[in-house]
């Protein structure tokens, strides 16, 4: 291979550069961009707004060009986005990931991503830029909705399932998953997208790096994407310590590292650690970024120039080229990358996919409050109010096609809550929007309260709009009716409901009609007043295509909600941070006018039935540093409805040599119980899971007392047992356990 051909394998090209205004291939552009080959095709279907059959056809034709018209005949790796489903036309949209995390059901998430995998395979994609492993520590950050929440173990467990479903049994079979954003993107300064991360090395490893290490070790993730920000002044995109020493050296990662879009450019434009394109390209490549996305701008000819001038060792270039070519062989694109374009649409929005997304939406429903058993409803007529009730785009996360490209025309397959309620034959529905998402007008309040006053119950559908907005600050936004305040680039300084939605809810609560507040939002909102006044609150998150029916089924009792919060909900933005596993002095110090407790804690969620817990029993009360213990608890459904309970296992170091979190999640199990039924839930814990980094930054299990805790939530621990670790020992990587094995047995 020539140096030019090598550099080409580390580049990419997107749909905007290869397709004309009619979404047809521009062959002059193809000759320009693909003359020496290319590493990746960037979002031909999604960015090109192509139907599945057209996406497959275009991909086939471009792969044929590479095979037949370039000297080496090396096909490309086509990649797409797929966080809550393939981000392209006609795709099935599943619940946004914070909603999936609320299901606490990794097996269900694996089924979801197996379904996504089928749609991607149909259009010839072999690589996907998902999932997000950022631990959401600052709720002002717009991308919290993309995450699996605030806890590193929860993030790791859900991400492992996501990767397993997407990648399948082996590299040749599935879609390469990309873990992002490496690392710490959920805890940056001010909760702002792309701002600096300033955490200590212990927190960086135990909170933010842990999910990546666990998923790479246990699910063999095939790709990693760098984060935009810097860590203590060093941009992730140019950190050899992070991308090579830690990722490849310590974690054993053997796949490809792809740049977050434009992050190589940001070394010049944002971080200013490089002055020129060749300088930035060398920094990124030497750090360990194999492929520049979304198109070749800084790699390509600038890498060639750097090699020729002696600023870049050709062996450094060769090493990344080997990794890219190895991945192409592993994914089978050298064998025959063509797919059946006529059959591509068969995998999209079929009945199986629709049922999977409806079940995912059902299991994500999180009941926060239900005074006097207002829910499930048994009424003749309802007033449906609020700006989140009747717009299909309002059911979607920011990386769904409809939300990511809000300016595009979109024929919705989604069913809104209003449509689902109006389709029922057991209730009469009156609808008034009341207000917009973010606008200041209250002109619709009177009609909304009149509708509520004439109904048996009012359903207030409220929340934030989700989109990718890149923080385009405009003074006129205050007057706009639908400003996104959740999603990428949509970072905020308050966590209340946007616009006048909270005022609308207050007006409804002043009627004599019971009000159910349904939060259709990816943003974890501060809802202290609503939590105090509203008799019932359901968090529906961003539930995707079948969100409307899932919400209606939950409100009327066909679906018994069992979701639990993957993030703690604060009283106000000024109370942050409120994540449950803070250290003792942070968790228990109060403010002048408020305490440190969240409105609703991590793991909280109610049901239409009730569960009782027995005492926790341990298989042993002492364990060696490399030993194990089984914690078991009996759970009984003492209500009169079938329901699911999510049993949570936490641990606490009660006399550690360092300040440690007040407790840490180490296992959970979603268990279904008939009325009167009991089941024993067991957690097989390795003592290595209790390890933390000692004063020399070695991972070690420390001798001393620990507590095993079983809870309904982090704020409702129902049973505890003492465990003694008999010795102190550093943990070798070969002996480390990342995940807790769980089992459920009948009484």
Contacts of 52 (CB under 8 A, 6+ apart): 45, 88, 89, 90, 119, 122, 123, 344, 345, 347, 348
Q: Tell me how far apart the alpha carbons of residues 634 and 673 are, in angstroms, rounded to a whole number.
A: 12
Q: Tell me how far apart the alpha carbons of residues 350 and 589 are, in angstroms, rounded to a whole number.
A: 53
Q: Are 320 and 63 in contact (CB under 8 A)?
A: no
pLDDT at 336: 80
The widest CA-to-CA distance across the chain, in whole angstroms, is 79
The position carrying tokens 């094995």 is 741
pLDDT at 681: 98
DSSP per-residue string spanning 206-244 = IIIIHHHHHHHHHH---EEEE-SSEETTEEGGG-HIIII
Question: pTM of the entire structure?
Answer: 0.97
DSSP reduced 3-state for 359: helix
Instruction: Give the strands of the sheet with 729-730, arranged side by side.
Output: 692-693, 699-701, 729-730
Q: Which 8-state DSSP code applies to residue 405?
A: S
pLDDT at 473: 62
pLDDT at 59: 97
Side-chain half-sphere exposure of 659, counting CA atoms within 13 A: 8
Q: Tell me how far apart the alpha carbons of residues 497 and 569 are, in angstroms, rounded to a whole number.
A: 13
Kindly report, residue by residue over 436-447, the tens digit of the pLDDT. Answer: 999 999 999 999
pLDDT at 413: 84
Backbone angles phi, psi at 428, to 5 degrees: -95, 140
- Nearest CA to 385 among 442, 441, 437, 435? 435
Q: Tell me how far apart the alpha carbons of residues 218 and 270 are, in angstroms, rounded to a whole number.
A: 35
pLDDT at 406: 65
Query: Cα angle at 153 between 151 and 155, to 5 degrees?
Result: 70
Side-chain half-sphere exposure of 68, counting CA atoms within 13 A: 8
Q: Tell me how far apart the alpha carbons of residues 444 and 470 are, in angstroms, rounded to a whole number.
A: 30
Q: Are 398 and 488 in contact (CB under 8 A)?
A: yes
DSSP reduced 3-state for 479: helix
- Nearest CA to 134 among 473, 611, 488, 662? 488
Q: Tell me how far apart the alpha carbons of residues 346 and 122 are, in angstroms, rounded to a whole number.
A: 8
pLDDT at 408: 67
**Residue ranges of the chain with pLDDT lower than 50?**
none
Helix (H) or strand (E) holding 402: helix 401-404
Q: Tell me how far apart the alpha carbons of residues 335 and 100 are, in angstroms, rounded to a whole number.
A: 36
Q: How, if at all, do strands 643-653 and 664-673 pair?
A: antiparallel
Query: How many CB atoms are closer than 10 A to CB 308?
Result: 11
pLDDT at 538: 98
Q: Is the peptide bond before 199 cis (omega within 30 degrees of 0)?
A: no
- Nearest CA to 41 among 68, 21, 72, 65? 65
């Amino acid at each position: 291979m020539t140096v030019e051909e090598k550099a080409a394998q580390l580049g990419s090209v997107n749909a905007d550069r290869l397709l004309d205004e009619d979404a047809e291939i521009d062959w002059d552009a193809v000759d320009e961009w693909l003359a020496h080959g290319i590493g990746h095709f960037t979002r031909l279907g999604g960015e090109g707004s192509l139907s599945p059959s057209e996406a497959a056809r275009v991909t086939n034709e471009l792969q044929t060009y590479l095979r037949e018209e370039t000297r080496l005949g090396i096909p490309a790796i086509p990649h797409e986005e797929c966080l809550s489903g393939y981000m392209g036309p006609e795709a099935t949209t599943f619940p946004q990931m914070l909603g999936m995390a609320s299901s606490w059901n990794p097996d269900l998430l694996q089924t979801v991503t197996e379904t996504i995998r089928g749609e991607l395979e149909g259009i010839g994609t072999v690589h996907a830029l998902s999932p997000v492993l950022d631990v959401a520590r600052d709720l002002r950050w717009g991308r919290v909705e993309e995450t699996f929440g605030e806890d590193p173990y929860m993030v790791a467990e859900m991400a492992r399932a996501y990767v397993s479903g997407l990648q399948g049994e082996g590299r040749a079979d599935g879609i390469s998953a990309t873990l992002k954003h490496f690392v710490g993107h959920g805890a940056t300064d001010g909760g702002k997208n792309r701002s600096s991360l300033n955490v200590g090395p212990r927190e960086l490893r135990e909170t933010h790096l842990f999910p990546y290490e666990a998923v790479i070790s246990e699910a063999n993730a095939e790709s990693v994407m760098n984060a935009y920000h810097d860590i203590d002044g060093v941009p992730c995109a140019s950190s050899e310590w992070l991308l090579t020493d830690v990722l490849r050296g310590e974690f054993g990662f053997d796949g490809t590292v792809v740049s977050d879009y434009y992050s190589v450019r940001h070394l010049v434009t944002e971080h200013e650690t490089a002055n020129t394109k060749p300088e930035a390209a060398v920094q990124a490549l030497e750090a360990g970024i194999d492929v520049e996305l979304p198109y070749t701008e800084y790699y390509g000819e600038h890498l060639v120039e750097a090699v020729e001038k002696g600023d870049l060792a050709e062996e450094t270039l060769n090493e990344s080229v080997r990794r890219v070519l190895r991945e192409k062989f592993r994914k089978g694109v050298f064998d025959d990358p063509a797919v059946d374009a006529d059959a591509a649409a068969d995998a999209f929005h079929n009945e199986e996919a629709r049922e999977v997304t409806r079940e995912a939406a059902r299991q994500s429903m999180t009941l926060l409050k239900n005074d006097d058993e207002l829910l499930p409803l048994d009424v003749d007529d309802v007033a449906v109010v609020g700006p989140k009730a009747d717009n299909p785009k309002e059911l979607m996360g920011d990386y769904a096609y409809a939300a990511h490209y809000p300016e595009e025309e979109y024929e919705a397959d989604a069913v809104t809550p209003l449509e689902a309620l109006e389709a029922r034959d057991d209730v009469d529905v009156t609808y008034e929007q009341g207000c917009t998402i973010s606008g200041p007008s209250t002109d619709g309040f009177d009609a909304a309260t009149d509708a509520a006053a004439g109904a048996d119950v009012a359903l207030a559908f409220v929340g934030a709009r989700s989109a990718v907005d890149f923080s385009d600050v405009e003074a006129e936004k205050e007057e706009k009716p639908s400003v996104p305040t959740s999603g990428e680039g949509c970072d905020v300084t308050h966590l209340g409901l946007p616009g006048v939605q909270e005022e609308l809810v207050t007006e409804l609560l002043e009627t004599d009609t019971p009000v159910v507040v349904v939060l259709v939002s990816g943003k974890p909102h501060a809802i202290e007043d609503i939590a105090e006044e509203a008799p019932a609150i359901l968090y529906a998150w961003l539930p995707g295509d079948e969100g409307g029916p899932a919400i209606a089924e939950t409100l009327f009792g066909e679906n018994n909600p069992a979701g639990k919060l993957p993030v703690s909900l604060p009283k106000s933005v000024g109370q942050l941070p409120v994540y449950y596993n803070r250290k003792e002095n942070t968790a228990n110090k109060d403010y002048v006018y408020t305490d440190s407790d969240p409105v609703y804690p991590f793991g909280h969620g109610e049901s239409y039935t009730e569960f009782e817990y027995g005492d926790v029993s341990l298989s042993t009360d002492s364990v060696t540093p490399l030993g194990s213990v089984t914690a078991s608890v009996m759970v009984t459904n003492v209500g009169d409805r079938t329901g699911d309970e999510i049993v949570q296992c936490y641990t606490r170091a009660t006399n550690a040599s360092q300040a440690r979190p007040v407790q840490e999640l180490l296992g959970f199990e979603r268990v279904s119980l008939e009325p009167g039924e009991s089941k024993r839930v067991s957690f097989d814990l390795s003592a290595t899971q209790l390890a933390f980094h000692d004063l020399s930054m070695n991972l070690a299990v420390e001798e001393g007392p620990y507590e095993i805790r079983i809870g309904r939530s982090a704020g409702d621990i129902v049973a505890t047992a003492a465990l003694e670790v008999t010795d102190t020992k550093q943990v070798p990587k070969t002996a480390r356990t990342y995940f807790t094995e769980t089992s459920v047995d009948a009484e």
